[in-house]
Chain A
Amino acid sequence: MALVSHIAEEQVSTPVSSSKSITLKIFRYNPEHDDSSKFMEFTVPYEKWTTVLEAILEVKKHFDHSVAVRYSCRQATCGSCGMMINGKPRLACFTKISELDSNVVTVEPMNNFPIIRDLAVKFERLFDTHQKIKPYLIRDDTELETDEREFLQTPEEVEQYIQFANCIKCGLCNSACPTMATDSSFVGPQALAQAYRYVADSRDKGKDSRLKIIDESHGIWRCHFAGSCSQVCPKGVDPAMGIQLLRGYLLGFRS
């Protein structure tokens, strides 16, 4: 009981004590009812630590509960809250209002994703392409057959792929990618980075089948190395580099 009241207290105390405020412009659109989109403006108080997600939740709580937004962990782990914040794809829970350096914060749904409603977008294509590259270790001998055995790796072997294992499937990279904007069949930087993550893993034996999957007319070759995917990734993954390293395998520079 004490714990519950403590949490409740914490939720109300944050924004109310603030002296500063910003104008939060929220994109509103329901494809099922609306002919066109519009922006709604709200004045929201904030503190140094207030995130964009908290500001949106403040709007939902006090002004308009119908604003659609997807979130879960609130700590840049689940990858749910990606959106365009002042024109750039970012995680709402990982972006502090104070760091945006602007009195107006505009939030829109991510580019290159179909809109469900307002700020929530469909992730089907992201998950389909992710699944397509077989995001798991492929090998004939499994842990089930050889119990008590681990697939040991040296630190150098882990180093080959570990940054790519940090991907949280937030889709920000796909949203920033210029090829994704025009090519509806492009596999995308997220899936390509994950293809590299497994191809570079010394425990994996599925390199050939994965390279075959991405070596098609809407696969890896449609990347023009704009590099915008790597610029927006909140987890420090460098999909553009992964794509170039993967190309090395296909061009015969790596084995």
Chain B
Amino acid sequence: MRESTIMKIHYGTALAAVALVAVHILMRLTTGFVESLEYENVLANYKFVPYAAMLELILILLAVHGFNGLRVILLELKQGRMYEKAVSYGCLVAMFGLIAYGSNTIIRTNMGMT
């Protein structure tokens, strides 16, 4: 993939994540902040499909943005063909791993499997 395409995704995911995380934080304020973090309320959020979908989206956006950011930092830190390949594929695998792990939590909770 061209670096400019990757960076467009990088900037796009940052903007979208800021917007969705803002919504996520605002939702904490619909009830009292501490109250909204109580076990039952958190579970209710996960069971509400639109909210669970938003959490899934935030997870994907932050994983893509974060691991690309890490790739960039590591590429600037050290150079070399093998090292750069390992960093790029390593970040990709870690990104998918995190998305799979987080999605598993969201889906299972949403389906009442906890």
Interface residues of A (CB under 8 A from B): 179, 182-186, 215-219, 221-222, 250-251
Cβ-defined contact, B75 with A217, below 8 A: yes
Contact of B8 among A179, A183, A184, A251 (CB under 8 A): A251
Contact among B2, B4, B75, B77 with A218 in the assembled complex (CB-CB below 8 Å): B75
User: In the complex the two chains form, is B79's CB within 8 Å of A221's CB?
Assistant: no
| Across the A-B interface, the 9 shortest Cβ-Cβ residue pairs | A250-B4, A183-B76, A215-B4, A185-B79, A221-B7, A184-B79, A215-B3, A221-B3, A182-B76
Interface string of B71-108 (1 = CB under 8 A from A): 01001110100001000000000000000000000000
Bitwise interface map of B from 38 to 81 toward A, beta carbon under 8 Å scored 1, else 0? 00000000000000000000000000000000001001110100
Q: Is the CB of A251 within 8 A of B75?
A: no
A216 to B4, CA, bound (A): 8
Residues of chain B lying within 8 A (CB to CB) of residue A222: 72, 75-76
Given A221-B4, A251-B8, 20 new contacts (CB under 8 A):
A182-B76, A183-B75, A183-B76, A183-B79, A184-B79, A186-B76, A215-B2, A215-B3, A215-B4, A216-B3, A217-B3, A218-B75, A218-B79, A219-B3, A221-B3, A222-B72, A222-B75, A222-B76, A250-B4, A251-B4
Q: Check A179 against B3 for contact (C-beta < 8 Å).
A: no
The interface residues of chain A lying within 8 Å CB-to-CB of B84 are 217
- Ordered by A's residue number, 28 sampled pairs between the chains whose C-beta atoms are within 8 Å are A179-B76, A182-B76, A182-B77, A183-B75, A183-B76, A183-B79, A184-B79, A185-B79, A186-B76, A215-B2, A215-B3, A215-B4, A216-B3, A217-B3, A217-B75, A217-B84, A218-B75, A218-B79, A219-B3, A221-B3, A221-B4, A221-B7, A221-B72, A222-B72, A222-B75, A222-B76, A250-B4, A251-B4
In the bound complex, what is the Cα–Cα distance between A179 and B75 (angstroms)? 11
A251 and B6 alpha carbons, distance in the complex (Å): 11
Q: Which residue of B lies closest to A212 (CB)?
A: B2
How close is A252's CB to chain B, nearest CB, in angstroms? Answer: 8
Give bound CA distance, A250 to B10, whole Å.
14
Complex contacts, A217 vs chain B, CB 8 Å: 3, 75, 84
Q: How far is the CA of A184 from the CA of B76 in the complex (A)?
A: 8
- With CB as the reference atom, state the residue of chain B lying closest to A216: B3
- For B2, B76, B77, which residue has the most chain A Cβ atoms within 10 angstroms? B76
By a CB distance below 8 angstroms, the chain A residues around B77 are 182
Smallest Cβ-Cβ distance to A181: which chain B residue: B76
Q: List, in ascending order, chain A residues with CB within 8 A of B4's CB.
A: 215, 221, 250-251
- Nearest chain A CB to B95's CB is how many angstroms away? 17
Chain A residues with Cβ below 8 Å from B8 are: 251
Q: How far is the CB of A247 from chain B (nearest CB, A)?
A: 8
A218 to B3, CA, bound (A): 9
